[in-house]
Chain A
Amino acid sequence: MILEQLPLLQQLTLVLAAIVLFVSFVLLEQARLVAAIHVFAWQGALTATVTAIVAANSDLKHLFFSAALTLIMKALLIPWMLHRLVYRLELDRHRESLRHPALAVMAALALVIFSYWAVAPLVKQELLFTRNIVAVSLAVVLIGLWMMVIRAQAVAQVLGFMSMENGLFLAAVTATGGMPLVVELGVAFDVLVAMILFGVFFFQIRESIDTLDVDRMNRLTEKADES
């Protein structure tokens, strides 16, 4: 795969995939919840754009529909719901700062190198382009999971989970030309239902223990039974 020989649309795909990776780093470090939701919306929009470009570049016309679905769900609907949730939970002024943001970012960079090393064994010439984007998508997935590990706020964890799903979607679109439409719709509606349930549960949790910090939700241990 030589960069100069790729058609313009494929080069654009590379650029957009790299920007998605950068956006996941920004999401990792973003302290304010409202800004984090906006960043997540941008990540969804970029993923939708990549899907549209792949659709334009190939024969798979159903990908246009996937792109539209992703745009509506990931870039508009879910951020709007999270936005409303955050305002109703009065968390819009809440700033959650990581204790050592530099260490978190260094670990995320190490995850990027690791993802590249993990997919490196695929050496067939025709697959090089997809392999590279799969490396980036795997990195986005791992960074999403890492975000769920280091952030204590429940809404931030939801964003990490959604970001993982974005990464998987990106990998699927570029590697295999999208998933079958039925699977696609099923996953989309599952995510929507999950979001609604998150909303309901967050209210319940906050009512009972007056906080949404997941580190406080650790009473389900042996020691807790004795107290």
Chain B
Amino acid sequence: MTDALSWAGLAVGLALASAAISLLSARLPRVLRLVATPMFGMAGLAALTAGLLALLNGNVTTAELPLGLPWLPWRVRFDALSGFFFCVVGIVSFAVGVYAPGYVRGLERGDNSLPALGGFSGLFLTGMLLVLLADDAFMFMVAWELMSLSSYFLVPWRHDHAANRRAAFLYLLMAHIGALAILLGFGVLASFGHGFAFDAMRGADLPFAWASIAFVLAFFGFGMKAGLVPLHAWLPEAHPVAPSHISALMSGVMLKVAVYGFIRVLFDLIGDFHWQWGVAVLAVGSVSALMGVLYALMQHDLKRLLAYHSVENIGIIFIGLGLAILFLASGHKVIGAVAFVAALYHTINHAVFKSLLFLGAGAVLHSANERDLEKMGGLLRRMPWTGLFFLVGCISISALPPFNGFVSEWLTFQAALQAWQLDSGVLRSIVPIAAAMLALTGALAAACFVKVYGVAFLGQARSRQVRHTRRAPISMRVGQGILALLCLLLGILPTAVIGLLNSVPEQLLEQGLQQATANSWLWLTPVSARTASYGAPLVAVTLLIVLVLGLWVFGRGIRRVRRCNTWDCGFAPPSAAMQYTASAFSQPIRRVFGLLFHIRESVEVQDDGRPSHSLQVDDRAWRIFYVPLERLVESAARQVVRLQSGSIRTYLGWTLGTLLILLWVTA
């Protein structure tokens, strides 16, 4: 069965089966753990196989399903772009499928509904896979709704807390506003293409104004789902409260499906590029990246911090896409392809390392029952494997060699550094500024993850509960280990990955990246060997050699390291409370970038002479965008309430009036 589409169908079928089995297993809690989650994992594996086949074959398969409306059957299309995103979904789902049995075991004794968890997870995966396969607007919107609604039911899974329900409501509201914008965008495209099928929209010829309107609607809708600033408010509320493996799926995969939607609509359906769009995407991407990482630095709830980092990384992906649009608009196809591939590479990188980090946070939550960084510490000695895999995730997300985060950032910088080829001097000044913001973002992300790893896993435990943490179960460790190994492989073998990816730009942009892998598998040369080259395997191997050499030459007394007390400056012996807290670590950055936040900090001396410090950091976007918008909607709603007078005769009067107007218009 070498047909990619059949494997895709198998994946969808397995996901649906996993949902069905969970829903039917109300009396048998172990069924969820033993049958449904492995089936979820196998669905992921099938999706990965389907994606790899599509990328390797490089051709486009279409089919028509007998579902949908009579005159508008569902059209399915499996090309290289869908294949790539199938790989992304598949890898993360497989890892989650391996991780979930251990995690769910801890939830079995609670009183929340396990069948709901398994059922909606399966439906969630189905929805995402169907979005990636859709070839007409109707199927796309139905699958998109399936995806949003099933994740809506998953977010407040612990629905006894009011905060969780509020977070879920905000998520639902913003998901539907985004969906409305996407629908309107499809509407614009369909009216010019005379049909809802994507093939019709591809052939449509839109004037610049209407194309820009479609672009803005698509950018707004998909950007809201992906979490771009200032449409990101739902992300830091919804992702932390969901169960950890669901957070991994949402952050790692669902945001990427939004990126897929944007690429599909702009690069495939609309098809032509203008530099104004490129500048807009670049600007929004840079601002999202910087604001995301700055907000993340201010958090001390581990999962909320990771959610803000998702905002940052989506910003980086959109920086790559913005650069691609800019270069393609001015006719530089090769560099546009380089920027596009950089964005795609960062997509898969982020999926892998963000899921790894969320699964690690889930392991910590499962074992130590703690989410607050200020109460953690010294976890590396209690959970060595989780600590090691989490370290790999931290190094990858900080974009450090030889792991995968570095490769995609290097590629993005290389694309930006080709700005000298642009004609406009103003653009040649703006692109380096965006690149400088990207550099600042990367450095701040490294600072944030030094804080996270240092406060959570190193040092001494700051609370009794954390001091007595048990190790994580085996399945959770294996799930994380798979993703950590992938981080390493994606970082060491970039030429292989780009070779696999090559069919995506070839199909969408008619320009592949042959020169990237032209200089043997060792060197990645995106533009040319003279311009830039990165020998990832060489860097990794040389680091390893030097490490081993150093250990051998200098570490001969390898057992002779005695323990002693730390330097206490002559005062009292250092206690766990004297360590740097998470808020203390980020204080210099908070002070310098304080303008961008709404900070309320106070130090007071209480009556018994003990000082107390309180710090509250709020998102400025709330006060600038959301609160005025909410007030506007409320006042408009109050005006409309006047129509509801309660009297039947008024309502009949309205009906008569509408009927008269309709008859007059159609007559």
Contact = CB atoms under 8 A, between A and B. Distances in A.
A120 B595 contact: no
B595 A116 contact: no
B557 interface: no
B473 to A, nearest CB: 49
A63 to B, nearest CB: 29
A113 interface: yes
B646 interface: no
A156 B429 CA distance: 30
Contacts of A117: 425-426
Nearest to A100: B595
A116 B424 CA distance: 11
Contacts of A116: 425-426, 429
Interface in B376-426: 425-426
A116 B430 CA distance: 12
B595 A113 contact: no
Interface string A97-122: 00010010000000001001100100
A148 to B, nearest CB: 24
Nearest to A109: B433
Nearest to B424: A120
Interface residues of B, number: 5
Interface string B594-622: 01000000000000000000000000000
A117 B429 CA distance: 11
Interface residues of A, number: 6
Contacts of B430: 113
Contacts of B429: 113, 116
Contacts of B425: 116-117, 120
Contacts of A103: 595
B289 to A, nearest CB: 17
A150 to B, nearest CB: 16
Nearest to A114: B426
A77 to B, nearest CB: 38
Contacts of A120: 425-426
Contacts of A113: 426, 429-430
Nearest to B593: A102
Nearest to A116: B425
Interface string A178-199: 0000000000000000000000
A197 to B, nearest CB: 39
Nearest to B595: A100
Interface string A112-143: 01001100100000000000000000000000
Nearest to A106: B433
Interface string A61-103: 0000000000000000000000000000000000000001001
A117 B426 CA distance: 6
B440 to A, nearest CB: 13
A177 B426 CA distance: 28
Contacts of B426: 113, 116-117, 120
Nearest to B426: A117
A103 B430 CA distance: 17
A117 B428 CA distance: 11
Nearest to A112: B429
Interface in B413-462: 425-426, 429-430
12 contacts: A100-B595, A103-B595, A113-B426, A113-B429, A113-B430, A116-B425, A116-B426, A116-B429, A117-B425, A117-B426, A120-B425, A120-B426
Interface of A: 100, 103, 113, 116-117, 120
Given A116-B426, A117-B425, A120-B426, 9 more contacts: A100-B595, A103-B595, A113-B426, A113-B429, A113-B430, A116-B425, A116-B429, A117-B426, A120-B425
Please name the 9 residue pairs, one residue from A and one from B, whose CB atoms are nearest each other, closest first: A117-B426, A113-B429, A116-B425, A113-B426, A120-B425, A100-B595, A116-B426, A116-B429, A120-B426
